[in-house]
Amino acid sequence: MQNINYIISLNSLPGFVKTCPRCKSEFFENSGCFRVNANGKKLDIWLICRCAHCKSIWNMSVYERINRIALDETEYFAYLSNDKNLVLRHVFDPAFLQKNHAVLDLEHIGLSINAAPPDDSGAVVSIQCEYPLPISAERMIASVLRVSLSRVRRMQESQLLTFAGNLRKTKTGRGFCFVLSDGWQMKNPL
């Protein structure tokens, strides 16, 4: 049995599902830019999003009225330079999303998988992600193996795929492992 490691990375910044008050469209694009506003010694920092339809702006609050010296200098300059890693850290932070009443658009997250699906022999498959992805393990396995969700369910029912936990309820997070049996591609579970 072979060991296979997959690294999952993002191709693009995830957007948000939110109704635009102006045009009633339900999708906001992530600009990847922060707006930093100084008022004396206090800072306001927002992540800027734009309606996909009418381009109206939605500022997601990162910090409100925070003292400038409370921020680490490296972090402060990361906000000023629109650091992509900092944007993604906030986007996948559940507390940040809750504070801004935001919902990630999971249907359009562009994922990049570093290798092709494993061959037909048995394998212990490890999936690692750069950021804690709120995508079900079932969907991630289907993406990695390039099969349908129903095929993943049938593979688990027929024990061609072994996963500790509930495939639908377990989130990908930063990663997980599963086991494929020999002949997983050839056998067509009913």
| pLDDT tens-place values along the chain, 190 residues long | 789 999 998 888 999 999 999 999 999 999 999 999 998 889 999 999 999 999 999 999 999 999 988 999 999 999 999 999 999 999 999 999 999 999 999 888 888 888 888 888 889 999 999 888 888 999 999 999 999 999 999 999 999 999 998 999 999 889 999 999 988 877 555 4
Within-domain flag for 143: yes
Domain boundary among 101, 132, 154: 101
Q: Could you tell me the residue range of the domain that residue 31 belongs to? A: 19-101
Residues 62 and 128 in one domain: no
Within-domain flag for 188: no
How many folded domains does the chain comprise?
2
Residues 89 and 125 in one domain: no
Tell me the three-class secondary structure of the chain, residue by residue: CEEEEEEEEECCCCCEECCCCCCCCCEEEEEEEEEEEEECCEEEEEEEEEECCCCCEEEEEEEEEEEHHHCCHHHHHHHHCCCHHHHHHHHCCHHHHHHCCCEECHHHCCEEECCCCCCCCCEEEEEEEEEEEEEEHHHHHHHHHCCCHHHHHHHHHCCCEECCCCCCCCEEEEEEEEEECCCCCCCCCC
Residues 67 and 29 in one domain: yes
Q: What is the pLDDT of residues 94-139, one digit of tens each?
A: 999 999 999 999 888 888 888 888 888 889 999 999 888 888 999 9
